[in-house]
């Protein structure tokens, strides 16, 4: 039963969130738009040629990209406020889907219920922010 916060944390700690951001930026930078096949005719008098400005506007106005960047910044900001032990447990658990609570408990020499409590605390605070 993965919810939205679990998905965001898994994407963040597995590196998928950075990949999504880079992929979206690549798509926006390399999208040339519709091709104008109108050949001939007159000369466009009021046409502007500012490709760098146009690309920056596309990057800054894209809602998908801004949402991904905001999620990354929020997770980074709030994860940094937790104790290092909680950060390590949550990062280890969400880094891979193959990690179980038993592996987390053995890795950090804590009980499974303690590890789950760390996750619940992190999810509760991030749930309010995200």
pLDDT in tens, 41-55: 666 667 767 778 888
Whole-structure pTM value: 0.80
For residues 115-122, average pLDDT: 94
Mean per-residue pLDDT over the chain, rounded: 88
Question: Is the backbone of residue 109 left (phi > 0), alpha (psi -120 to 50) or beta?
Answer: left
Higher pLDDT, 53 or 83: 83
Query: Residue ranges of the alpha helices (H) in 15-62?
Result: 16-30, 51-61
pLDDT of 39 > 80? The answer is: no
* CB 104, CB 112: distance < 8 Å: yes
Distance CA 76, CA 7 (A): 15
């Amino acid at each position: 039963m993965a919810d939205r916060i679990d998905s965001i944390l898994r994407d963040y700690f597995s590196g998928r969130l950075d990949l999504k951001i880079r992929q979206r930026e690549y798509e926006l930078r390399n999208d040339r738009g519709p091709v104008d096949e109108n050949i001939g005719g007159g000369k466009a008098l009021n046409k502007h040629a500012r490709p760098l400005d146009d690309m920056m506007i596309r990057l800054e106005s894209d809602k998908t990209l801004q949402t991904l960047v905001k999620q990354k910044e929020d997770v980074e900001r709030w994860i940094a406020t937790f104790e290092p032990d909680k950060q390590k447990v949550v990062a280890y658990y969400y880094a891979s889907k193959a990690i179980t609570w038993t592996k987390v408990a053995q890795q950090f020499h804590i009980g499974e219920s303690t590890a789950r409590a760390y996750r619940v605390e992190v999810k509760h605070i991030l749930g309010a922010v995200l």
